[in-house]
Amino acid sequence: MLEGYEIQGLFAIVLSLSIPIVAILMVFITDIKKKRRETELRLALVEHGTDAETAKILIEEHQKKHDKYSTLRWGCVLLGMGLGALCNALLDMNAKHNIYFWLIIAAGMGVGLLSAFVIEYKLAKKEQPS
């Protein structure tokens, strides 16, 4: 028979395998529902006298503009997190349960975000026509 710790292990394995499956199913279900709502709305617009092309344009989502600074932002955050981890190593705080370990890493990430903001601001200012 299965012992208590064996049942817990089996339960943990089943849950860890079911989470990605449920997540993928939910993405597909929400996508299907979204398309169905758009189709119903488009049909309702056509029934009220709007031509099909105009209805399609009205319903269609506008593509998000590519944020040209997202790579810079992520790079600065990761660099700040790495510097925070380096500070932790230099201060000999390698205990993962120590709150100061996480505070220093979070502070490094904050410094990374601030530096990304400053760089973005200067680059955007330089790109504006005078």
Per-residue pLDDT tens digits of the chain, which is 130 residues long = 567 677 888 888 888 889 889 999 999 999 999 889 888 888 888 888 888 788 777 777 655 556 788 888 889 988 988 888 888 888 776 666 678 778 888 898 999 999 999 999 999 899 887 6
Residues ≥6 apart with Cβ < 8 Å to 93: 100, 101, 104
The pLDDT score that the predictor gives to residue 117 is 92
pTM: 0.48
Residues ≥6 apart with Cβ < 8 Å to 20: none
80 vs 75: CA distance, rounded Å: 8
Sign of the C-alpha dihedral computed for residues 42, 45, 46 and 47 taken in this order: positive
